[in-house]
Structure 1
Amino acid sequence: MARRHLLALRRCLAGIALSAALAATPAAADDADRRQGERLFRSQCVGCHSLAPGRHIAGPSLHGLIGRPAGGLEGFGYSPVLEAADFEWNAETLDAFLAAPAEFLPGNRMVLWGLAERPRRQIIRYLEALAADAEP
């Protein structure tokens, strides 16, 4: 009998733990995506892009990227197609660009064949978090 109660108690506790984990999942997932996005950014992007204002490498600084017009950063020599682009960088445009830069904007100089959906989402979430942190 005691064993049956112990099993019932374990199931109950497992259910409570699962409920708590599911309730915390969105925030925890967002935070985990942001941390993974930072790791991915450091391994995939920092060779060509800086997050420091005005510091350009092979690509433009990504400081303040979210909400910025494409090709609109002073002091960087964009490709003609990016200079002529008429859109703003946001989650949707970044997602499409990082999925297939040459298809999204033929003639750009981005040296990237494309990222899978999850790494794109994580990098974008990281860049969005940086933009949110920078807001007054």
Structure 2
Amino acid sequence: MSGDPAKGAKLFKTRCATCHNVNPGVNSTGPSLAGIFGRQSGSVPGYAYTAANKNSGIVWDDEVLDKYLTKPTAMIPGTKMVFAGFKKAKDRADMIAYLKTI
């Protein structure tokens, strides 16, 4: 399913921006999401990840992000991310499309 980056940007502002930033090197409650594609989980410099995240072995791509964004705690038990997830596949596709633009 292809997503709409403009809709993903709106979702990001309402559901993710409280904890995440899209500027490189700017961490908040959560790590910066700039350059997430192809990056190993738990590897943003300056962010204090849980061992679960650092040791997950996950490399972020479309398929992995779709699964993760469905229910983060199910994919990485022990993560400190408290986001419940996006239930709708279209919302996940829109978010992934947006993240590809940053």
- TM-score over 0.5 for the pair: yes
Match of 2:16 in 1: 45
Q: Which has the higher contact order (CA 8 A, sep 6+)?
A: 2
TM-score, with length taken from structure 1: 0.70
In structure 2, the residue matched to 1:102 is 73
Name 1:128's counterpart in structure 2.
100
State the identity %: 34
Aligned alpha-carbon RMSD (Å)? 1.2
Larger helix proportion of the pair:
1
Equivalent residue for 1:118? 90
Kindly indicate whether residue 42 of structure 2 is the aligned counterpart of residue 74 of structure 1. Answer: no
Deviations 1:3-24 (A, max 9, x none): xxxxxxxxxxxxxxxxxxxxxx
Structure of larger gyration radius: 1
State the secondary structure of the residue aligned to 2:46.
coil
TM-superposed deviation, 1:100: 0.8
The alignment of Structure 1 onto Structure 2 pairs a total of residues equal to 100
> Which of the numbers 30, 35, 40 marks the counterpart of 2:6?
35
Q: Does residue 57 of structure 1 match 2:1?
A: no
In the superposition, the TM-score normalised over structure 2's length comes to 0.92
Greater than 4 Å deviation, 4+ residue runs: none
Over residues 18-57 of structure 1, what are the superposed CA-to-partner deviations in whole Å (9 max), with x where a residue is unaligned? Answer: xxxxxxxxxxx75xx1110111111111100001111111
Report the CA distance between 1:112 and its aligned residue.
1.0
Instruction: Indicate the residue corresponding to 1:21 in structure 2.
Output: none
Structure 2 CA distance, aligned partners of 1:83 and 1:48? 18
